[in-house]
Structure 1
Amino acid sequence: MAGKSGAPWWAHVMMYAGGLTMVVAGATAGVAQYGSMAAEDAVPEEEILGDAQAEVDAEKIEGPLNILVLGVDKQGDSTRSDTMILVHINKDLTETTMVSLPRDLWVEIPDCGPGYDNNPCENKINHSASISDDWEVTRPNVVQTIFDLTGVEFHMGATVDFEGFLGLVDMVGEIELCPWHEITSIHGDKRVFPEGCAMYDKDESLDLIRQRYGWNYDSDWEEGRGGDYGRQAMQQQAIKSLLKEFKAKGFLTDPGKLTEILDGFGDSLTIDKPEEWSITDLAVNLRDIDPEGITSVQVPSTPDATTLGGVPVDIVLTHEGAEQEAADALWDALQNDTLDQWKTQYPQWVKTPGSTTATSTETPAEGETTG
């Protein structure tokens, strides 16, 4: 076992490690062995990172670690990614920071699909995942787009789909979500979610955390949670609430219930990790991470508008000047494990543990609507 030297669907990886940690660290050797075998059998592996794979020491797990998590939506034979999260764990393997990439972030994409003769273009980052229905084609394009944008090398990667989230919420029955104002769904029966905290089942939870157009109050934009930023905030709430429910119901301390978590993932989670690092080793090495202490960072950017094929398009843009400076510094901090200094220098882009909003007071760019 490699020694320690130091749920977003995106945080499922952290939740998974947390669940195994409680068993491996606190149970008998027999249970630990069972947990190890079950974990290795339960999580499919695939190549995700490609050229963005960081070099690692195969003999030991040590920080800092960068993990790329892609939330995917599987519909029929098509797989698309519309959630992209950079997870950073510090050198001591005690603190975690999540950086959500806005789906409308305007970036350079290396392959923009048949409509562009597979040439590069500038577009929303989620376009990188729409060039083909074949995930084997789109996945490397998504990863390369993120790598070109950030320069961050990743020690592990993971993909998690919506079905995995539904299954995990179903295990606990309901999770608490706290919309900061009333919001009406744009999906299905147009359910209305009232302001304040309430318990929601799997279908309601998924509906709420997929909303982004309803976060369009002036106050949403003033408080840094308008549009897709609001969606990100609700996703972060959902994962933390799910973790709390698993802990409260004993899933993380009962080996029998842990098996339910393992089975609940099914094919909804795949990972890309060094072959020598086992899931159990990761759990032991990450045992000091407190899920409730996860810090979320907003990519320095604000809403803007452009034209695409002569059609007006609402986007999120990292503007030249202060935003670009902060964004460049963020990518360097992820790569070099200097996030503590970055957070001190750029507090307006940081969300404190338990918070649903960033402290940014940026408003939409001139001429931008909030609808």
Structure 2
Amino acid sequence: MAGKSGAPWWAHLMAYAGGLTLVAAGGTAGAMQIASVTAENAVPEESILGDAQAEVETAQIEGPLNILVLGVDKQGGSTRSDTMILVHINQDLTQTTMVSLPRDLWVEIPDCGPGYGNNPCENKINHSASISDDWEETRPNVVQTIFDLTGVEFHMGATVDFEGFLGLVDMVGEIELCPWHEIQSEHGEQRVFPKGCAMYDKDESLDLIRQRYGWNWDSDWEEGRGGDYGRQAMQQQAIKSLLRAFKEEGYLTDPAKLTEILQGFGDSLTIDKPDEWTITDLAVNLRDIDPESITSIQVPSTPDETYLGGERVDIVLTHDGAEQTAADALWTALQTDTLDQWMVQYPEWVKTPPA
């Protein structure tokens, strides 16, 4: 088995909406074998990263690792991605940092679709995911857009859709989410979520973490969690709350319940990893990560506006000057495993969960 030895922690990968990193404790050697077989069979693999895949020279799993997570939404016959998360694990494989790319971030896109003659353009980053209803055509465009923006090569990639999140919340019944002020849903039933912590079922949870426009108070923007930034903050809450619920329900110590987690995603999760690595090896090597210590970073950028086709468009822009300098340094820190130094130098972009 590649990498670390010792009593294993079972990690069933990462992510959605802000993302998920699920870490579970293993048990006996028999349980280890069962979980290993289940993991390998339960997680479909596909080519996600293309030219953005980092070269791996050995079967030994070593940090640092960069992982690209795409949250996808399958509606009708199309698949779109509007959640893009860069997950960084440090050299010691003990600390995790998440960088969520704002869906309205103004970037250069290599293929802007038939409306642009499939030529490059500048647009919101989520436009890269809307050039076709064919995910096989759209996904490489999304990944190339992110690679062109950051220069970061990724050791692994993953796509997770809404159904995967729903299934996991349904396994524990409810999770705790804590909006920092009242917010009314812009979707379907138009629920009103009160300020403060409460337990929410799968439908309510998904509704709340998809909100963007309700985070529009002046205080939201002053505190750096307005609009899509607020959505990212709620997604990050959901990650930790779901992990907490799994621990309380015993999913992380009971091998039988562990297999439910592994199978809970079904086809909602796909991964792209080096052939030399197995899910089991990844689980063992990520056993020292504490999900409660996950750090969240906001891409240096602030709201702005531009004109597209003669119409005013609200965007998020990394402005020339201090923001661009901080963003460039962030992409370098991800590649050189120097995020600790970056966070000391640019603390204003390090986000902690709201009280």
TM superposition score category, shorter chain reference:
over 0.9
Once the 2 structures are TM-superposed, how far is the Cα of residue 240 of structure 1 from its aligned partner?
Answer: 0.6
Separation (CA, whole Å) in 2 of partners of 1:48 and 1:3: 24
Separation in 1, partners of 2:21, 2:196: 27
How much has 1:45 moved relative to structure 2? 0.1
Query: What amino acid sits opposite 1:149 in the alignment?
Result: L
Aligned to 1:9: 16
* Paired letter, 1:356: P
Q: Which residue of 1 aligns with 2:339?
A: 339
CA offsets 1:1-42 (integer angstroms, 9 cap, x no match): 11239x552576621xx12xx11xxx2221111110000000
Q: Which runs of 4+ in 1 moved over 6 A?
A: none
For 1:12 and 1:286, how far apart are their aligned partners in 2? Answer: 17
TM-score (normalizing by structure 2): 0.96
In structure 2, the partner of 1:85 is 85
Q: Distance in 2 between matches of 1:237 and 1:136?
A: 31
Q: Which amino acid aligns with 1:59?
A: A
CA contact (8 A) 1:8 1:236 kept: no
Counterpart check, 1:301 vs 2:301: yes
What is the identity, as a one-letter code, of the residue corresponding to 1:131?
I
CA distance in 2, matches of 1:292, 1:69: 19
Residue 300 of structure 1: how far off its partner (Å): 0.2
Which position in structure 2 is the counterpart of 1:114?
114
The residue matched to 1:4 in structure 2 has which SS? coil
> CA 1:33 to 1:11, structure 2 compared with 1: closer, same or farther past 3 Å?
farther
Counterpart in the other structure of 2:316: 316
State how far apart, in whole Å, the 2-side matches of 1:12 and 1:83 are: 8
Paired position in structure 1 for 2:10: none
Alignment partner of 1:158: what SS? strand
Residue aligning to 2:68? 68
The residue identity in structure 2 corresponding to 1:71 is G
Residues 125 and 12 from structure 1, CA distance in 2 versus in 1: closer, same or farther, beyond 3 angstroms? closer
In structure 2, do the counterparts of structure 1 residues 37 and 13 end up closer, same or farther at CA, with 3 Å as the change threshold? farther
Are the aligned partners of 1:58 and 1:274 in contact in 2 as well (CA < 8 Å)? no
Contact residue 97 and residue 294 of structure 2 kept, 8 A: yes
Match of 2:316, SS state, is: strand
Q: Distance in 2 between matches of 1:211 and 1:55?
A: 37
For 1:26-45, what aligned pairs fall within 5 Å after superposition?
Answer: 27-45=27-45
- 1:363 maps to which residue? none
The match for 1:48 is 48
Identify unmatched segments of 5+ residues in structure 2: 6-13
* Greater displacement, 91-100 / 260-269: 260-269
Quote the Cα distance in structure 2 between the aligned partners of 1:121 and 1:290.
40
1:130-145 matches, cutoff 5 A: 130-145=130-145
CA apart distance, 1:154: 0.2
Aligned residues of 1:300 and 1:318 also touching (Cα < 8 A): yes
Give the superposition deviation at 1:189.
1.6
Question: Percent of aligned pairs with the same residue?
Answer: 82
Aligned to 1:98: 98
TM-score by length of structure 1 reads: 0.92
Q: How many Å separate the matches in 1 of 2:118 and 2:301?
A: 27
Cα offsets for 1:79-135 (capped at 9, x unmatched)? 000000000000000000000000000000000000000000000000000000000
CA–CA separation in structure 2 for the residues paired with 1:3 and 1:152: 23
| Corresponding residue for residue 124 of structure 1 | 124
- Counterpart-to-counterpart distance in 2, 1:204 and 1:298: 25
Task: For residue 76 of structure 1, report the CA deviation from its aligned partner.
Answer: 2.3
By how many angstroms is 1:318 displaced?
Answer: 0.2
Tell me, yes or no, if the aligned pair for 1:66 and 1:87 is still in contact at 8 Å.
yes
What amino acid sits opposite 1:346 in the alignment? Y
Q: Is the CA contact (8 Å cut-off) linking 2:49 and 2:272 kept in structure 1?
A: yes
Query: What letter is aligned with 2:354?
Result: T
- Give me the CA root mean square deviation: 1.2
Structure 1 unpaired stretches of 5+: 358-371
Q: 2:94 and 2:102 mapped to 1: Cα distance? A: 26
Aligned partners of 2:18 and 2:100 also within 8 Å: no
**How many aligned positions are there?**
347
CA distance in 2, matches of 1:101, 1:241: 22
**Contact conserved, 2:19 with 2:85, CA < 8 A, in 1?**
no
- Conserved in 2, the CA contact under 8 Å of 1:13 and 1:158? no
Deviations 1:162-190 (A, max 9, x none): 00000000000000000000000011121
CA contact (8 A) 1:58 1:277 kept: no
Contact 1:4 1:62 in 2 (8 A): no
SS of the residue aligned with 1:3? Answer: coil
Check the 8 A contact 2:304/2:317 in 1, yes or no. Answer: yes
Q: Is the 8 A contact 2:167 2:265 kept in 1?
A: yes
Once residues 11 and 269 of structure 1 are traced to their aligned partners in structure 2, the CA distance between those partners, rounded to angstroms, is 15
Q: Give secondary structure in 1 for the equivalent of 2:289.
A: coil
SS at match of 1:61: coil
- Report matched runs for 1:133-212 at 5 Å: 133-212=133-212
User: For residues 214-229 of structure 1, what are the structure 2 equivalents within 5 Å?
Assistant: 214-229=214-229
Flag the 1:211–1:13 CA change in 2: closer, same or farther, 3 A.
Answer: closer
